[in-house]
């Protein structure tokens, strides 16, 4: 009896493992595939446009300047410096990237999601109140206050945020499981889309009057959207 149960649990674990373990970006078929701009020095591998590996050099895998803070003088008081395939062409096909996030006192990295990546964040300076919300129907908020040296994970696709609750600057670095994680900032996508989403849609979705929607849209359309 115990043997059957053991076998069953082994099957369940195996089934779970095979359904959950799949990389966000396709696995590489070669050591690397440095993203190339021009056809002259390029090869196609697995449908991608790659630099001829013989022409690849250290600089294709290099970025400098992540010691410098981003400018947080903006309405939310935060700034994300991205180091993805657009900054390091050698990240092409490798399924990984990095960001530095700076927070002014009381600065916010507003609720957003990465459609293609899980994020693992480490606080390098200061304190952050972070959280993410699980999918429907629970929509459970999972939240924590992090201090220097603390690490937190934001699972792929889930809406998450980081807020600096202190009167000092904060700095975090985060690894993301895609060469191009993508970012959807919820408020910008909903109230700052181009063209605008019909007020008929937004008044019903948010159960508010049109003047509230107009007000919210104005926060984004006043800028450069
Ligand atoms: C983030 O900081 C960089 C470097 O200081 C700056 O060029 C950029 O405009 C800033 N972005 C925002 C959204 O403030
Ligand atoms: C930061 O951005 C603000 C607003 O755009 C600008 O006035 C200020 O000069 C910038 N600071 C630095 C150090 O670049
Ligand atoms: C592609 O070309 C643009 C414009 O010439 C250049 O700024 C960029 O650095 C190039 N990117 C790569 C990956 O070589």
How far away, in angstroms, is 48 Cα from ligand 1 center? Answer: 31
Give me the pLDDT at residue 20, please.
Answer: 45
Residue 92, Cβ neighbours under 10 Å: how many? 23
**Which residue's C-alpha comes closest to atom 4 of ligand 3?**
37
Distance CA 29, CA 26 (A): 9
pTM of the model: 0.83
Percent of the chain whose pLDDT exceeds 70:
83
Distance CA 128, CA 168 (A): 11
Binding-site residues for oxalate: 109, 114, 119
- 225 CB under 6 A from ligand 1? no
The pLDDT of 80-101, averaged and rounded, is 95
- 71 CB under 6 A from ligand 2? yes
Give me the pLDDT at residue 2, please.
Answer: 52
How far away, in angstroms, is 72 Cα from ligand 2 center? Answer: 8
pLDDT of 46 > 60? The answer is no
Distance CA 224, CA 102 (A): 22
Q: What is the DSSP string of 105-139?
A: TT-EEEEEE-TT--EEEEEEESEEEEEEEPPTTT-
Q: What angle do CA 135, 137, 140 make, to 5 degrees?
A: 60
CB contact set of 185 (below 8 Å; sequence gap of 6+): 110, 111, 112
Confidence band for 48, pLDDT divided at 50, 70 and 90: low
The atom of ligand 3 lying closest to the CA of 34 is: 13
pLDDT in tens, 152-163: 999 999 999 999
Give the SS3 label for residue 42.
Answer: strand
The pLDDT of 19-26, averaged and rounded, is 51
How far away, in angstroms, is 159 Cα from ligand 3 center? Answer: 32
Give me the pLDDT at residue 45, please.
Answer: 62
Confidence band for 102, pLDDT divided at 50, 70 and 90: very high
Confidence band for 25, pLDDT divided at 50, 70 and 90: low
Q: Tokens at residue 109, please?
A: 């990295």
pLDDT of 42 > 90? The answer is no
Give me the pLDDT at residue 5, please.
Answer: 54
**Which residue's C-alpha comes closest to atom 12 of ligand 1?**
79
Q: Mind listing the domains of the chain with CATH numbers?
A: 65-185 (2.60.120.10), 192-221 (no CATH)
Q: What is the mean pLDDT of the chain?
A: 87
């Amino acid at each position: 009896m115990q043997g059957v149960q053991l076998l069953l649990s082994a099957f369940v674990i195996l089934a779970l493992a095979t359904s959950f373990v799949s990389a966000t970006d396709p696995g590489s078929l070669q050591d690397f595939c440095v993203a190339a701009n021009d056809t002259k020095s390029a090869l196609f591998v697995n449908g991608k446009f790659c630099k001829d590996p013989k022409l690849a050099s250290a600089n294709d895998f290099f970025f400098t300047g992540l010691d410098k803070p981003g400018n947080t003088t903006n309405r939310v008081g935060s700034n994300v410096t991205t180091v993805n395939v657009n900054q390091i062409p050698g990240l092409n096909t490798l399924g990984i990237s990095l960001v530095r996030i700076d927070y002014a006192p009381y600065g916010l990295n507003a609720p957003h999601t990465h459609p293609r990546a899980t994020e693992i964040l480490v606080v390098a300076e200061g304190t952050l109140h972070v959280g993410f919300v699980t999918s429907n129907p629970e929509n459970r908020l999972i939240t924590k206050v992090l201090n220097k040296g603390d690490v937190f994970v934001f699972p792929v696709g889930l809406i998450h945020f980081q807020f600096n609750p202190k009167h000092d600057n904060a700095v975090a670095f985060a690894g993301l499981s895609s060469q191009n994680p993508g970012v959807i900032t919820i408020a910008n996508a909903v109230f700052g889309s181009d063209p605008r989403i019909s007020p008929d849609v937004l008044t019903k979705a948010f159960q508010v009057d049109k003047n509230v929607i107009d007000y919210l849209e104005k926060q984004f359309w006043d800028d450069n959207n």
